[in-house]
Amino acid sequence: MTIANDLIQPDRGQDATPIHLVTKDGFESLAKSLSGPQRASLAGQKFCGDAGAVGIVPDGEGWFAIAGVSDADELASWCLANAADKLPAGTYRLQDAAPGAAMHGWQLAQYTFDRYRENDDAEGPRILLTSEAGKIDRASAIAQAEALVRDLVNTPAEDMGPAALEAQAQNMAKQFNAELKVTRGDALQTGFPMIHAVGRAAARHHAPRLIELIWGDADAPRIAIVGKGVCFDSGGLDIKSSAGMALMKKDMGGAAHALALAKLIMGAGLKVQLHCLVPAVENAVAGNAFRPGDVLQSRKGLTVEIGNTDAEGRLVLGDALTLASEQGAELIIDFATLTGAARVALGPDLPALFTREDRTADDLIAGGKASGDEVWRLPMPAAYGEYLKSSIADTNNAQGNPFAGASVAAIFLDKFVGDGIEWAHFDTFAWRPAPQSGRSKGGAALGLRAAFQMLNTRYG
């Protein structure tokens, strides 16, 4: 699993295979500088400078590589991922360029998830040298954080239940000397009744819990990172189809993002007091499962009629957001694999972003563009709050129509965030349904780098 730590190394003049970058428009000029046999070799490989293409060129007794990019002057996150994937194991150096943002894709192209089988195709690392030694630590930390999200999401639910998320948080607490607080099982009933209700039907070894990490200077601005940790979602008594359940190991993708972002914040030493909260549950089917039509109490004091037991993620987040607000956070960011509606609107690659304030959205959108992890803001029209009206409780947890599902879910969450608190909600997919350059099929970090870029700009 995961990726090696030293795939990017300082360039101290080590022996390395050169990589020449070329755009499609510039390929003809480059080809003129090559010998006839070299041009013939590239023709045999059908290399013509397309972005992402990789060619190997014989050069005396050795060889060098050519990588096609869209822009040779400003390299993007994933532009060298194919090169890192296709080139043989060894050490490489870009000619006439620094890798910059492309360090990210170079590392993650070498990610593997081999917990359950041997990786027979492993060749050894492809190391990239760079003169930008000062950027290596941060680039490596961000790549490791994204790999952590992939690892957690890719792991099946039996091995990535609430206890496993707690163990991950415990390891991070030890690494960064953070405080860990965990409220488990029936102890949730008094303080976190919605988390308890959603998770109470699970087997004992998957008992629900609220995991909290607290780190940093108590006098620094307090920020809260909240992640939906539904480790498996059967849909509850409103049970999903078998096809609908097939990917539900990934329903803790919000928790994976929250833990990875917390690790980045602590590793970078941002000047904040961090409160990371993960409500971790399994939405199971049993005789004590919560039911459609039940009315749940919440930590906030609002009563919630259950219109759909498959709209459970917003329930566990509601209690966690209330606690984060009570503890005095000036900024709360939550991540959740919350709605299929967000995917219908934006597809698998763009996380939906909801904020109370324009400046929050502007900062996160700018962070996404700067880091190559773009996000897209969707609205929270106050009028859509009507869709959550209940005749017997303060609110329903689900709407009775098919309209604007992602926005309505965000409106529900907003009820549990304290007044005057800056808040951002990411409705992220946390999954890549088909492989792309440097991005294997499976767990995916979407919105993670955007959020860290924004936080680093504010508090770094």
Question: Confidence band (pLDDT; 50, 70, 90) for 1?
Answer: low
Helix, strand, or coil (residue 338): coil
Number of H helices, E strands in the chain: 15, 20
Q: Which residues contact 296 (CB under 8 A, 6 or more apart)?
A: 193, 194, 197, 290, 303, 304, 306, 315
Question: Confidence band (pLDDT; 50, 70, 90) for 84?
Answer: very high
Give the integer Cα–Cα distance in Å for 400 and 402: 7
Show the beta-strand stretches assigned E in 75-143: 90-94, 126-130
- The answer on pLDDT for 121 being more than 70 is no
Helix, strand, or coil (residue 286): coil
Answer whether 155's CB lies under 8 Å from 182's CB: no
> What percent of the chain stands above pLDDT 70?
99
Q: What is the DSSP letter of 88?
A: P
Question: Confidence band (pLDDT; 50, 70, 90) for 123?
Answer: confident
List, in sequence order, every residue forming a beta bridge with 334; answer none if it has no partner.
Answer: 226, 425
Give the integer Cα–Cα distance in Å for 353 and 299: 25
- The answer on pLDDT for 335 being more than 90 is yes
DSSP 399-437: -SSSS-HHHHHHHHHHTTSPTT-EEEEEE---EESS-BT
H/E run at residue 42: helix 36-44
Helix, strand, or coil (residue 133): helix
428 burial class (0-12, 13-18, 19+ CB within 10 angstroms)? buried
Catalytic residue flag (residue 200): no
Compute the half-sphere exposure of residue 344: CA atoms within 13 Å on the CB side of its CA. Answer: 10
Q: Which two tokens stand for residue 401?
A: 């129509």
Positive or negative CA dihedral for 156, 162, 163, 166?
positive
State the residue for tokens 């959108």.
365
Catalytic-labelled residue, pool 93, 200, 300, 314: 314
- The answer on pLDDT for 267 being more than 80 is yes
Give the integer Cα–Cα distance in Å for 235 and 232: 9
Mean pLDDT over all residues of the chain?
96
Q: How much is the average pLDDT of 113-140?
A: 90
| Residue pLDDT, tens place only, 404-458 | 999 999 999 999 999 999 999 999 999 999 999 999 999 999 999 999 999 999 9
Catalytic residue flag (residue 240): yes
CA distances from 359 to 45, 72, 142, 288 (A): 49, 33, 24, 44
Phi, psi of 60 (to 5 degrees): 65, -125
Answer whether 113's CB lies under 8 Å from 1's CB: yes
Q: Which two tokens stand for residue 99?
A: 């890798």
Question: Picking from 4-8, 167-171, 398-402, 450-454, which range would have the lowest pLDDT averaged per residue?
Answer: 4-8
Q: How much is the average pLDDT of 223-236?
A: 98
| Residue pLDDT, tens place only, 345-404 | 999 999 999 999 999 999 999 999 999 999 999 999 999 999 999 999 999 999 999 999
pLDDT of residue 353: 98
Answer whether 266's CB lies under 8 Å from 313's CB: no
Catalytic-labelled residue, pool 24, 138, 240, 458: 240
| Residues shown for the chain | 460
Question: Confidence band (pLDDT; 50, 70, 90) for 145?
Answer: very high
Q: C-alpha dihedral over 310, 314, 320, 322, to 10 degrees?
A: -140
pLDDT of residue 3: 84
Answer whether 330's CB lies under 8 Å from 323's CB: no
What is the edge-to-edge ordering of all strands in the sheet holding 8-10? 8-10, 126-130, 90-94, 17-22, 62-68, 54-59
Q: State the alpha helices, DSSP H only, in 155-291.
A: 162-176, 188-191, 193-199, 242-245, 253-268
Q: What is the DSSP letter of 392?
A: S
Q: What is the DSSP letter of 155?
A: S
